[in-house]
Chains A and B, each alone.
Chain A
Amino acid sequence: EIVLTQSPGPLSLSPGERATLSCRASQSVSSSYLAWYQQKPGQAPRLLIYGASSRATGIPDRFSGSGSGTDFTLTISRLEPEDFAVYYCQQYGSSLITFGPGTKVDIK
Chain B
Amino acid sequence: EVQLVESGGGLVQPGGSLRLSCAASGFTFSSYWMHWVRQAPGKGLVWVSRINSDGSSTSYADSVKGRFTISRDNAKNTLYLQMNSLRAEDTAVYYCARGQFDYWGQGTLVTVSS
Contact = CB atoms under 8 A, between A and B. Distances in A.
B95 interface: yes
Interface residues of B, number: 18
A97 B44 contact: no
Nearest to B104: A44
Contact of A44 (B59, B61, B95): B95
* Interface secondary structure of A, over-half rule: loop
Which of A44, A90, A92, A100 has the most chain B CB atoms closer than 10 A to its own CB? A44
Interface in A52-108: 56-57, 88, 90, 92, 95-102
Interface in B80-114: 95, 100-102, 104-107
For the side of the interface on A, what is the size category? 20 to 34
Interface of A: 1, 35, 37, 39, 44-47, 50, 56-57, 88, 90, 92, 95-102
B47 A99 contact: yes
Contacts of B50: 97
Interface string B42-58: 00111100100000000
Given A97-B50, A99-B44, A90 B101 contact: yes
B45 A56 contact: no
B104 A97 contact: no
Contacts of B100: 35, 47, 50, 92
A5 B49 CA distance: 21
B102 A99 contact: no
A102 B45 CA distance: 8
